[in-house]
Amino acid sequence: MALYDILGQVAGLPVFRLLGGDKTTFEIDFTVGIDTPEKMVKAAKDHAAAGFRTHKVKIGQNPDLDILRLKSIREALGPDHTIRIDANQGYTVPQAIYTLRNLEKYNIQYCEQPLVDWDIAGMKQVRQESPIAIMADESLHSPVDAVKLIKADACDYFNIKIMKSGGIRHAIQISTIAEAANIRCMVGCMSETRLGLTAAAHAVAAQKNIIFADLDGFLSLAVDPIIGGMTVKDGMVTMPETPGLGCAIDPAFLKTLKKA
């Protein structure tokens, strides 16, 4: 990230334009954490009131409870909001197939990582029997993993994370490999500041094959210590046009930190 920041500053270009991109705005989702159906409905409605039209709902604990969670959220949001789900490796193969078949009626965009990361054969089986598209997340770290997943016909989409793949270069490589296999991608995130998320946003803005973005990790932080960077309004990211990553850590915030 730092090297791309330097390169962009030397070239006088924002990183996404340095990489050949021209996407200045794009939509992100807001994550609904796993909880009781009532609390998850409230969170989804709060996100909708804040302008978000796409919601990523965490599931993977109990199939029947997860079905109730999605039923409640879809009824609360109505048909015009996009819902995608993330099972975080929580299911067995039979559980995943059962749950996804029962969720089809709620118009789910895709399901992230229904099975443990190593069960590629199981993920292929789920994909074959599920009416909902499957996205690989924890199974995908490197370009090599991307090739393995493609060869196995294990998923419909890739979730690329800058912090998981080892940086912008590997993220772009994974997207390129996916594009060659006609697999579209998302760039996701951890709980991190807008520094890391702005770097991830540059990857999104640089790649036409990255059509989804899950970059809401900073919204749950108590402090935003970043100057500049991507901005989010009504669920839409706007990219900085300043050279490099276009953001920095607030010096005043750094002064508040203590040595460990």
H or E element: which one contains 4?
helix 2-11
**Angle at alpha carbon of residue 68, lines to 65 and 71, rounded to 5°:** 155
Would you say 130 and 111 are in contact if contact means Cβ atoms under 8 Å apart? yes
Distance of alpha carbon 25 from alpha carbon 238, whole angstroms: 5
Distance of alpha carbon 175 from alpha carbon 206, whole angstroms: 10
Three-state secondary structure call for residue 159? strand
Distance of alpha carbon 191 from alpha carbon 29, whole angstroms: 14
Residues with a known catalytic role: 58, 161
**Strands in 113-179 per DSSP E:** 134-136, 157-161
Strand partners, 212: 186
Contacts 24+ apart (CB under 8 A), 88-91: 88/58, 88/60, 88/112, 88/113, 88/138, 89/60, 89/113, 89/114, 89/115, 89/116, 89/117, 89/138, 90/59, 90/60, 90/61, 90/114, 91/60, 91/63, 91/115
Report the relative pairing of strands 210-213 and 247-249 from DSSP bridges: unpaired
